[in-house]
Amino acid sequence: MKRVLYLLRHAHIGREETFVGHTDVPLSSQGVQQSERWALEPRLMADLRERNMGNWEGLSWEEVEKNYPEDSRDYLENWEGAIPGGESLSRIKQRVLAGWKEIWSHPWDRAMVIAHGGTNRILLAEFLEIPDNNLFRIEQDHLGMNWIEFSEGTPTVKMLNSRFSS
């Protein structure tokens, strides 16, 4: 059986310079315009949330470096580790893949998942068997669309980060 997954990054939020992992922030005016073209009835899945940025939520990188100098240096050397008060890469990966397993367990021919940049990178890396240390080589722009076809459970990425005009 062939399945098609459309994996989309959420619309623009206007907080590009800060860590907003689990923080619920509204769409920017640009994001509202972007999302109006989709008439979807969402089903929220906690397992597909962005990485919990812990003590860094809402801070810019400059603020993180100033307030958490040792942790920020450690993060640059090993970003797979846990952010103070937040999640490690292995924890978010475990959570996101559990969410994917839940989606996969239901019957569907076509599905759309709208998620976060980190969530999408984890799923795409899993589908493509890309090692974790290369996650940030997968670009995920706001409203970047990924198209993945599964034939007998084997994924083929047909389109990666195709951008819709704002």
pLDDT digits (tens, 9 = 90+) for 72-114: 888 877 777 778 899 999 999 999 999 999 999 999 999 999 9
**Domain span holding position 144:** 2-53+88-162
| Burial (Cβ within 10 Å: 0-12, 13-18, ≥19) of residue 151 | exposed
The tokens describing 20, both together, are: 């907003």
Q: Which residue type, as a one-letter code, is found at position 29?
A: S
Task: For residues 64 and 67, give the distance between their C-alpha atoms in angstroms, rounded to a whole number.
Answer: 5
User: What CATH number is associated with residue 35?
Assistant: 3.40.50.1240
Q: Note whether 45 and 112 are within 8 A (CB).
A: no
pLDDT band of residue 165 (cuts 50, 70, 90) is low
Closest CA to 7 of 94, 115, 91: 115
Q: Does some domain include residue 114?
A: yes
* Domains in the chain, number: 1
Q: Does 68 map to a domain?
A: no
